[in-house]
Amino acid sequence: MSTLLDRPFLKMNGLGNEILVLDLRAGGGPVTADEAMALARDRDTRFDQLMALHPGRGGADAFMRIYNADGSEVSACGNGTRCVAWALMRESGRREALLETAAGPLVCSAGDAPDQITVDMGAPRFGWADIPLAEEFADTRAIELQVGPIDAPLIHSPSVANVGNPHAIFWVDDLNVVDLRRVGPMLENHPIFPERANISLAKVTSKSALTLKVWERGAGLTLACGTAACAAAVSAARTRRTGRDVVVTLPGGPLRIVWRESDDHILMTGPATLEHEGVIRADMLPVAA
């Protein structure tokens, strides 16, 4: 019998990025790839990312494990982190939450407007081995990428960044210059990315604004990706396309991203929305072998 049976969940979204918050603090898990894929397909629990909460250690409100819809486990999810923080703040009545992840702690605080949450996403990494890339690049502000049948010339020099997970940002004048649904899988699985990568098309609209479309590793085209917004914002600032305080507008809506000079940390602010709550039923889970 699955250890997830009867565990409570919250179905949420962060700007339309579908998030399932699964509470395993009373026991259960780790979530298997088959369980994650089954829950991702169910009408009630459908998700782009599953955030599994386990008991927190060392003062943290919870330890969090993150899964993509394809069952792969990852170490960062910006929109999901805001949803988890919202849920923990609702439970505790406090205006902040501390989450522990395999990649380190995440400090979250309630914003001034209702349902707005700020997450300190930590410092970005730009070294080629940190992304990671399969070969050495001295300058990751623009790497040369040879991809087969893509006809738009600008598509071949993305900026790359790791904000807890790997991202490639292709600077374009028109977000529809290529069909991301078609080229996304090719770029996500390009041999230069040994751990695959999240792929964004980014358009700079002013010194303080970007628009973004994202093909997510392990989840496909989504309405929003918080870490992609962070990666695009720091890459835009790093290449002098923008300043360090920007609004990144995704198909699901805007996120404010500030890349703080004093400690290099990225602060992401945006909404978290509750859709419904429930408990995991047997029919949502894979049939036992």
Ligand X SMILES: N[C@@H](CCC[C@H](N)C(=O)O)C(=O)O
The binding site for substrate comprises 17, 49, 68, 78-79, 165, 198, 216-217, 226-227
Q: Which stretch binds ligand X (CB under 6 A): 38-46, 73-81, 132-140, 278-286?
A: 73-81
Q: How far is the CB of 229 from ligand X (least distance, A)?
A: 8
Tokens of 236: 């835009």
Sole window of 51-59, 72-80, 93-101, 249-257 interacting with ligand X (rule: CB under 6 A): 72-80
Q: Which is nearer to ligand X, 2 or 187 (CB)?
A: 187
Which residues 172-231 are close enough to bind ligand X by CB under 6 A?
198, 216-219, 222, 225-227
- Measured from the Cβ of residue 131, the count of other Cβ atoms closer than 10 Å reads 24
Which 8-37 positions form the footprint of ligand X (CB under 6 A)? 17
CB 143 within 8 A of CB 160: yes
Q: Minimum Å distance from CB 196 to ligand X?
A: 7
278 strand-pairing partners: 9
Q: Which two tokens stand for residue 271?
A: 């909404």
Q: Which of 13, 79, 118, 211 binds ligand X (CB under 6 A)?
A: 79
Contact by Cβ (8 Å): 97, 87: no
Pick the binder of ligand X from 2, 13, 49, 269 (CB under 6 A). Answer: 49
- Closest CB to ligand X among 2 and 80? 80
**Does 77 participate in binding ligand X (rule CB under 6 A)?**
yes
Residue 234: CB atoms within 10 A of its CB come to 26
Rounded (10°) angle between helices 78-92 and 226-238: 120
- Of 77, 83, 108, 230, the catalytic one is 77
Token pair belonging to 36: 């994650």
The reply on whether position 165 binds ligand X by CB under 6 A is yes
| Min CB(48)–ligand X separation in Å | 6
DSSP per residue, 196-231 = --EEEEEEEEETTEEEEEEEETTTEEES--HHHHHH
Tell me how far, at minimum, the Cβ of 14 lies from ligand X, in Å. 6
108 is catalytic: no
CA distances from 129 to 6, 132, 136, 137 (A): 42, 5, 7, 9
Phi, psi for residue 10 in degrees, rounded to 5: -120, 125
CA 217, CA 71: separation in Å to the nearest integer? 11
Nearest to ligand X of 2, 69 (CB atom): 69
Our finding on whether 271 is near ligand X (CB under 6 A) is: no
- 79 near 224, Cβ under 8 Å? yes
In whole angstroms, give the CA distance from residue 88 to residue 61. 7
Point out which span in 4-12, 71-79, 136-144, 249-257 binds ligand X (CB under 6 A).
71-79
Give the x/- contact pattern for ligand X in 241-260, rule: CB under 6 A.
--------------------
Distance CA 108, CA 97 (A): 5
Which residue in 83, 108, 225, 230 is the catalytic one?
A: 225
Q: How many residues bind ligand X (CB under 6 A)?
A: 19
Which residues make up the interface to ligand X (CB under 6 A)?
A: 17, 48-49, 68, 74, 77-80, 165, 198, 216-219, 222, 225-227
Q: Give me the active site residues, please.
A: 77, 225
